[in-house]
């Protein structure tokens, strides 16, 4: 009987374990997760912090579901080492888990900026449920919060904490928020809207230190400004969890290097999700992580599986805002077509007759249409008319 060990019970690991159990009914499938919780919806942590969902609603699979599907789940079981020739993983508590095939799904962790004071209690790099709960504890205690990072995650943290009654300042190193997903115009619209809702946004802000005694009490900027804070959330990016893979001798770049069938440099070990690196690229969204998990399960079942990235789309999950972006935003070598009507903005970037990137602000109803144009790379006869959206295309047909 084949023993398959999946390390990491985030979305990718859980999906892969379930996929393997389904495709290989005879296999023994073990899912070992470092976090003490049942598998949960990490994407929904933003809504949890904002008070829109309860903790119980985050859980995606109960123990009974997993067991009925043929997956033996071990919560609170960080794997500390991997012996590739012996095909043995050893947990932090010293328990050996022998396998025939292993899948690394160790995901990423939030970056903790190497600033003075970054380790003070009250400083939270945001990635998981425990960190979300720490943020909510601080919100209950009250006082001001500072979020370092005005990307998607930072803005979701800030809006959530504001909804919980905190006075929140967002510090962003660039001139407009979400600069990876938005152009300057749509970024300025979003910044205005968030400011109008009571968030303080400081752009081009250079954080120099975090101050405090036995707990954080302020953030100091390079220009000397001191912003009081009882909670500091770091949302400045993530780093793949590769320590385990690296120490075992697997090939690791920024992530665990895999081929398109999700195999690592050891053919018995696969890697999926945010910890995996294919052709020098990492992923940072849940949809491709789940796809990779399906491809890895297919590979383990002996099917020919070859994953290739598709166009990424991202949306901001802050109630009262509608912001969506896909593909390449404002690349230097593309031509822009922009439409603006009041609080609604549409930015589209074209190379010749092909759409390569899009930003929708205020009205995101056409997101599926533009994502399809980007993903398929289909040529469009009239860029100006296509910019009007699917209704025009239907009328013209």
Ligand X SMILES: Cc1cc2nc3c(=O)[nH]c(=O)nc-3n(C[C@H](O)[C@H](O)[C@H](O)COP(=O)(O)OP(=O)(O)OC[C@H]3O[C@@H](n4cnc5c(N)ncnc54)[C@H](O)[C@@H]3O)c2cc1C
Q: Which of 18, 34, 162, 278 is close enough to bind ligand X by CB under 6 A? A: 34
Cβ partners under 8 Å of residue 376, min gap 6: none
- Count of residues touching ligand X (by CB under 6 A): 33
Judge whether 218 and 232 are in contact, CB under 8 Å: no
Give residues 80-109 in contact with ligand X (rule: CB under 6 A).
Answer: 105-108
Supply the minimum distance, in Å, between the C-beta of residue 374 and ligand X.
Answer: 16
Whichever of 107 and 150 has its CB closer to ligand X, that residue is 107
Residue 6 is a binding residue for ligand X (CB under 6 A): no
Judge whether 190 and 323 are in contact, CB under 8 Å: yes
Residue 143 is a binding residue for ligand X (CB under 6 A): no
In the structure encoding, which two tokens stand for residue 36, read together? 């003490």
Q: Which of 4, 5, 13, 19 is close enough to bind ligand X by CB under 6 A? A: 13
Q: Report how far apart, in Å, the C-alpha atoms of 311 and of each of 206, 212, 325, 327, 329 are.
A: 32, 43, 11, 6, 12
Q: Which of 35, 179, 277, 294 is close enough to bind ligand X by CB under 6 A? A: 35
Site string (333-352) toward ligand X, x via CB under 6 A: --------------------
Residue 29 is a binding residue for ligand X (CB under 6 A): no
Supply the minimum distance, in Å, between the C-beta of residue 254 and ligand X.
Answer: 14
Judge whether 385 and 379 are in contact, CB under 8 Å: no
User: Of the ranges 10-18, 302-310, 326-334, 363-371, which one interacts with ligand X (CB under 6 A)?
Assistant: 10-18
Q: Report how far apart, in Å, the C-alpha atoms of 168 and of each of 4, 116, 160 are.
A: 45, 21, 10
CA 353, 357, 363, 367 torsion: positive or negative? positive
Whichever of 69 and 209 has its CB closer to ligand X, that residue is 69
Which strand (E) or helix (H) includes residue 358?
strand 354-361
Give residues 268-327 in contact with ligand X (rule: CB under 6 A).
Answer: 273-274, 284-287, 289, 317
Query: What whole-number distance in Å separates Cα of residue 246 and Cα of residue 253?
Result: 9
Residues that bind ligand X (CB under 6 A): 7-13, 32-35, 42-43, 45-46, 78-79, 105-108, 127, 153, 241, 244, 273-274, 284-287, 289, 317
């Amino acid at each position: 009987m084949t023993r398959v060990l999946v390390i990491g019970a985030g979305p990718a690991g859980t999906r892969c374990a379930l996929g393997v159990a389904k495709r290989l009914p005879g296999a023994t499938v073990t899912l070992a997760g470092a976090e003490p919780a049942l598998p949960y919806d990490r994407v929904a942590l933003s809504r949890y912090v904002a008070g829109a969902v309860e903790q119980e609603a985050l859980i995606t699979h109960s123990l009974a579901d997993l067991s009925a599907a043929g997956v033996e789940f071990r919560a609170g079981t960080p794997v500390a080492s991997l012996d590739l020739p012996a095909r043995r993983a050893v947990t932090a508590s010293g328990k050996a888990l022998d396998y025939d095939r292993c899948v690394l799904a160790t995901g990423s962790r939030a970056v903790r900026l190497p600033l003075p004071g970054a380790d003070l209690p009250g400083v939270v790099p945001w990635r998981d449920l425990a960190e979300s709960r720490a943020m909510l504890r601080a919100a209950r205690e009250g006082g001001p919060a500072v979020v370092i990072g005005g990307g998607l995650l930072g803005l979701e943290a800030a809006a959530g904490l504001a909804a919980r009654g905190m006075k929140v300042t967002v510090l962003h190193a660039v001139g407009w928020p979400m600069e990876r997903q938005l152009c300057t115009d749509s970024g300025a619209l979003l910044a205005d809207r968030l400011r109008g809702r009571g968030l303080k946004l400081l752009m081009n802000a250079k954080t120099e230190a975090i101050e405090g005694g036995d707990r954080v009490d302020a953030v100091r900027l390079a220009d000397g400004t001191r912003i009081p804070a009882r909670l500091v959330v770091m949302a400045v990016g993530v780093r793949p969890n590769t320590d385990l893979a690296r120490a075992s001798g697997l090939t690791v770049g920024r992530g665990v290097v895999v081929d398109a069938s999700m195999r690592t440099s050891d053919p018995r070990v696969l890697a999926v999700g945010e910890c995996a690196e294919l052709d020098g690229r990492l992923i940072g969204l849940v949809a491709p992580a789940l796809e990779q998990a399906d491809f890895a399960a297919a590979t383990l079942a002996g099917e020919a599986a070859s994953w290739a990235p598709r166009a990424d789309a991202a949306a901001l999950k802050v109630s009262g805002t509608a912001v969506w972006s896909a593909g390449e935003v404002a690349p230097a070598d593309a031509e822009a077509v922009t439409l603006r009507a009041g609080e609604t903005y549409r930015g589209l970037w074209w190379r010749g007759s092909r759409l390569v990137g899009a930003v929708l602000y205020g009205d995101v109803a056409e997101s599926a249409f533009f994502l399809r144009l980007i993903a398929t790379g289909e040529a469009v006869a009239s860029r100006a008319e296509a910019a009007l959206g699917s209704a025009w295309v239907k009328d013209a047909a």
